[in-house]
Amino acid sequence: MEIMVRFIGELSIFLILINQYQSAEVPSVSSKLGTITGETKSVTFQGNKYQVDRYLGIPYAKPPTGDLRFQPPQPFGSFSETYNAVDFGASCPQPSYPTMPKENKTDENCLFLNIYVPRQKPDEPSGHAVMLYIHGGGLSIGSGVFYDGSVLSSVENVIVVTINYRLGLLGFLDIDNEKAPGNVGLLDQHLALQWVNENIGTFGGDKDRVTIFGQSAGSTCVAMQMMYPSNEGLFRGGITQSGALSIPGMYHENNINIAKFYARSLGCSFETKDEVLKCLKEASSETIIKVFVDATSSGDFESAASVGATPTIDGKFIRHNLGDLLKKAETETFEEIDFFRSVKLINGVSGDEGAMFLTMGGSAETLEEFEVTREQMNTQQIPGAVAIMYGNKPVPEVVQQLVISEYTDWVNPDDPKRLRQQVVDLFGDFFYNSPAIEMSRVHCNGSDVDSYVYNFLPKLDKPLIPLPKWVKHASHGDELGPVFGYSFDLRDLFNISEYTPPEWELDLSNRVMRYWTNFAKTGDPNKPNPGLSVVWPKYDVSSQSYIKFDREDSIGQYLYARPTEFWKKIVPAVIDATEHAQTVTEQFGKKEEQTCDNDGNCG
Ligand SMILES: *[C@@H]1O[C@H](CO)[C@@H](O)[C@H](O)[C@H]1NC(C)=O
Ligand SMILES: *[C@@H]1O[C@H](CO)[C@@H](O)[C@H](O)[C@H]1NC(C)=O
Ligand SMILES: *[C@@H]1O[C@H](CO)[C@@H](O)[C@H](O)[C@H]1NC(C)=O
């Protein structure tokens, strides 16, 4: 099942909290919502001790249950008595894995946020810069609970907020009517941002210096929020870690077919939309999740693909396919793109993103010996990849040939060890690298907004996804440890225990946290606190400069320029041309029929 979940969506990345409490006086804030009390915690990073006030499990929306299921979230409002914010709220309903973290309490009443406030004086009189994290997990799994903001907050002196939002069918059912309008999971995130805008001042935060960041599907959500003009004023920067806008299969017109699949699996009548809606409103969240689990563990790709509810072009939150919008932005003006270009951006990917897809082929041990023959490359890997890329659309043979040619090392075309790396490159380029570069180019092209790009290269001692030795770089999610200052326990989900990161990783973490929080404080990753290895240059379409994070950071240029050209320009142009050629042949053929006689005398 795990494999199928990864296949339809993206990898679940869980970080698990270490619950090390140290009691001190009880921190408390009095806001217009009422009094909220929290707890102070001590953390250690690189031998130094820090203190952070945590306010956990604050409801920002009414429980999205009963009549509110599938509905846009309603603000929670104020507390009738002092709210004791010392426990995480439940995570939103999702499958439970054998390796599920201990904090796996799930409930439909799940719209909570967690706030980490440093004990240091703010860097500006206006208050602490604020970083709101949107978790990943393919929009089907995950929770804010797993991302401990304690170290990032207290070491670098910013407020960190983590949130839950509705997942899967409960977050994205869209059956084309007001009763299930779609994208409510994204609206949850938007409401959490409004909550932060209205209330973070009480916690010592500066509502005019909010940055949103996220990884994987959470990164895609960050980009989507940056394309939603109603967010104007709610944040001024975004950090997208390995997740852009043009992911294949990300947007649908609605989720009616998915809804019908659930209704049928639940034994309901599913002829009309009303019947489907009634069925899905009455079902328990457990049975809805069970349908998901059964379908994704069935081994049947079609069933698995029938249960993944995605964002929809609902006409409100999303008015156009956002991936297509990036293409059209070169020649047309869109309100979404204008808003996108008004928000500062750090965008990046890991060095071997595509290595994540190797996990579909076996465990780390078996992957050590993994090799790909030319025959397999041509008949399995490339056609398989191309099929995922273009969904149900038939792909012209010439496109397959083009992809084979691009992903062949012509010095050594049949070397199985080169070929396996080409498979990693192929998946990485298509799913992550070229969408990311395309997004950054659109962001900065013809705009003077601050835009930055990174590539996270180093293979960590314990990669989140176990990788064979021949994979030389970091893969999907590996930057998360450094971004959060390793304040998590990977035992349950990733079976990584007693991990003490080596000193070079902690140094790297120090630098990454500094760049991220500088960006949150000033909009420039190099200010106000330098002391970093290199000055991170702005990204623009001519120089295409970016930072390479590694054991020693450096500056590079033209990151993934070739694959971006290939996937975003050449392949679409060839597809257009073959479609066009076909149309011409058809027209020409018709004309011939009409005007030529059997002896070939025409006209
Ligand atoms: C977490 O899940 C396990 C196995 O499904 C279960 O035994 C345990 O009670 C759950 N813990 C919580 C806190 O819900
Ligand atoms: C930048 O935009 C111009 C038109 O506004 C377009 O011609 C050009 O191709 C774009 N450059 C990139 C790298 O996207
Ligand atoms: C977890 O890792 C240990 C070795 O570190 C291994 O023996 C064990 O089989 C692993 N468990 C799972 C569930 O993968």
Q: Is the CB of residue 541 below 6 angstroms from any atom belonging to ligand 2?
A: yes
Q: Which residues contact 509 (CB under 8 A, 6 or more apart)?
A: 481, 482, 483, 485, 486, 501
DSSP 174: E
Sign of the alpha-carbon dihedral angle for 491, 497, 503, 505: negative
Q: Is the CB of residue 447 below 6 angstroms from any atom belonging to ligand 2?
A: no
SS3 assignment, position 51: strand
Q: Is the CB of residue 446 below 6 angstroms from any atom belonging to ligand 2?
A: yes
Q: Report CA(473)–ligand 2 centroid distance (Å).
A: 31
- 28: which 2 tokens? 């408390």
- 396: which 2 tokens? 């012209």
Q: Check whether 497 has a pLDDT greater than 80.
A: no
**121 to each of 44, 82, 115, 204, 528, how far by Cα in Å?**
19, 26, 17, 9, 15
Residue 405 is among the residues annotated as catalytic for this protein = no
Q: What is the pLDDT of residue 20?
A: 30
Domains annotated for the chain, with CATH where assigned, are 43-248+314-359+441-558 (3.40.50.1820), 256-308 (no CATH)
Q: What is the pLDDT of residue 396?
A: 82
pLDDT classification of 496: cutoffs 50, 70, 90: low
Q: What is the pLDDT of residue 297?
A: 86
Supply the DSSP string of 328-354, one letter for each residue.
HTTTS--HHHHHHTTSEEEEEEETTGG
Mutate which of 17, 88, 104 for ligand 1 pocket (most atoms within 8 A of beta carbon) = 104
Distance CA 142, CA 134 (A): 10
Q: What is the pLDDT of residue 588?
A: 59
Q: What is the pLDDT of residue 300?
A: 77
Distance CA 129, CA 354 (A): 34
Q: Which residues contact 304 (CB under 8 A, 6 or more apart)?
A: 4, 7, 8, 295, 296, 298
Q: What is the pLDDT of residue 475?
A: 95
Q: What is the pLDDT of residue 464?
A: 84
Query: Tell me: the pLDDT tens digits for 92-119?
Result: 999 876 555 555 589 999 999 999 999 9
Measured between alpha carbons, how far apart are the two ends of the chain, in Å?
63
- Average pLDDT over all residues of the chain: 88
Query: Tell me: the pLDDT tens digits for 69-99?
Result: 999 999 999 999 999 999 999 999 998 765 5
- Smallest-distance ligand from the CA of 101: 1
Q: Report CA(330)–ligand 2 centroid distance (Å).
A: 6
Q: What is the pLDDT of residue 532?
A: 78
Among 91, 143, 154, 216, the one annotated catalytic = 216
Lowest mean pLDDT among 427-436, 460-469, 508-517, 541-550: 460-469
Residues lining ligand 1, CB < 6 A? 96, 100, 104-105
Once rounded to an integer, what is the mean pLDDT over residues 335-343?
97
The answer to pTM > 0.95 is no
Q: What is the pLDDT of residue 18?
A: 27
**How many CB atoms within 10 Å of residue 530?**
9
Q: What is the pLDDT of residue 14?
A: 27
Q: Check whether 478 has a pLDDT greater than 90.
A: yes
Q: Report CA(78)–ligand 3 centroid distance (Å).
A: 46
Q: Check whether 363 has a pLDDT greater than 90.
A: no
Please calculate the CA angle 563-570-377 and round it to the nearest 5 degrees: 60
- 293: which 2 tokens? 């689990």
Once rounded to an integer, what is the mean pLDDT over residues 219-232?
98
Instruction: Please report, rounded to a whole number, the percentage of residues in the chain having pLDDT higher than 90.
Output: 69
Peptide bond into 528 cis (omega under 30): yes
Q: What is the pLDDT of residue 594?
A: 47
Q: What is the pLDDT of residue 16?
A: 25
Q: Which residues contact 107 (CB under 8 A, 6 or more apart)?
A: 90, 91, 93, 285
Q: What is the pLDDT of residue 10?
A: 36
Distance CA 466, CA 496 (A): 10
Alpha-helical segments (H) within 341-433: 364-368, 374-376, 382-390, 397-406, 416-428
- Smallest-distance ligand from the CA of 441: 2
**403 to each of 83, 264, 309, 427, 571, how far by Cα in Å?**
57, 39, 30, 12, 8
Q: Is the CB of residue 398 below 6 angstroms from any atom belonging to ligand 2?
A: no
Q: Check whether 21 has a pLDDT greater than 80.
A: no
Q: Is the CB of residue 561 below 6 angstroms from any atom belonging to ligand 2?
A: no
